[in-house]
Amino acid sequence: MPKHRAPRYVRTKKVIAKAPVAAGATVVGLGVLSTPAASASTGHDWTGVAECMSSGDWDINTGNGQYGGLQFKQSTWSGYGGTEFAPRADLATPAQQVEVAERVLEGQGAGAWVGCGRHLTEGTTPAAAGSAAATPAPAPAAEQAAPAAAPAEQGSAEEYTVRWGDTVKKIAAAHEQSWRELYERNTGVIGSNPHLIRPGQLLVVNGSAPAAAPAESTAAAGDSAPAAAVAPIAAAAPQVASATAVITNTAGPIHAAVQAAANTVVSNVPGAGDITLGGTRASAVDPDGHPSGKALDYMVMSDNALGDAIAQYHVDHWDELGVEYVIWEQRILTSPDGAWKAMADRGGVTANHFDHVHVNYVG
């Protein structure tokens, strides 16, 4: 696979270093942990997810910031109580990793494991059966979140409390409006990324918008939730190109099919049209990529929620977009039905694809 160095069009930009997004996603608030999680011995068989994420290696630590068989990001592992078992996921038993995964599943859904959650099945996890998961201590009283308040009257406004599994599109449809209308009414609560809504948030579905935004409404860089878990907006939106992607080319024009694919992406993934798209550039080690006009770099910089959304959109619409492979956060996917594979450390944020999603198209 070709090496990547910082593309010419971003070498002068300030790259904000960030921790990689893990399968487990953003901690959506301790309130989602107030209900005891399912134990490792009941509920689901995580074998397929582990095979997809790490080739079934429950002790893996490649140095890419994601650990264990289910590739937990450290902030996710800590936020969902994993440090009560072990400092990192790769140091925990398979049963303990599964127990934390069940908590993440409850809070974020199977889409938290981008491209791999579809392999989750009902049953038990054989690898976890022989390694007991110690029961974590109850959370301190100060950390126990109060149940979400019932929708409150606010003048003529009708409010809705976000629950697990909700999306902006789903809530909007239930209240007979477009997702854009709902999002624009609630930007103060949701923040700048319509992909991120969290259980317990109050959205105004009719009437006036909220007067102020909660302090936690905007996700911190590096801790964003995977798009598939919270934002099927991109996947569910009509697959039409209503916008033209602006692509930076320095070595000739981009392939027409790639331009068309980019137009579709920026038209259907909120935020994708506001970032730099790198197209053709000279490269002696990547003749079938950027020089050929068949590759794009979606420069999300520190917005890894957007990166997840763009990557997942390509997985969901692989054939429609003519995708050959996707590289994101030091992992590569060569088939929509395959597993993300870890890549060697190339030494930097850009070289390891932590600030951009690289897509090679068939062209």
> Which pLDDT band holds residue 200 (cuts at 50, 70, 90)?
confident
Tell me which architecture the domain covering 158-224 has in CATH. Roll (3.10)
Residue 248's DSSP bridge partners are: 278
**Nearest 10 degrees: Cα torsion 277, 355, 17, 251:** -50
pLDDT tens-digit readout, 92-114: 999 999 999 998 888 888 888 88
C-alpha span between 190 and 79 (Å, rounded)? 21
Greater model confidence, 200 or 58: 58
Per-residue pLDDT of 330-350, as tens digits, reads: 999 999 888 899 998 888 888
User: What is the band of 240 on the pLDDT scale with cuts at 50, 70, 90?
Assistant: low
Mean pLDDT of 158-177: 82
Please report which confidence band the pLDDT of residue 131 belongs to, taking 50, 70 and 90 as the band edges.
Answer: low
Q: Which of 149-153, 250-254, 273-277 shows the lowest mean pLDDT across its residues? A: 149-153
Distance from C-alpha of 65 to C-alpha of 60, rounded to nearest angstrom? 11
CATH topology of domain 30-131: Lysozyme (1.10.530)
pLDDT at position 207, please?
A: 66
- pLDDT tens digit sequence for 7-59: 444 433 333 333 333 444 333 332 233 333 333 334 899 999 998 888 888 98
Going by C-alpha positions, the residue among 194, 285, 203 that lies closest to residue 232 is 194
Q: Where are the alpha helices (DSSP H) in 175-321?
A: 179-185, 187-190, 227-230, 233-236, 256-268, 304-316, 318-321
**Token pair for 281:** 């550039």
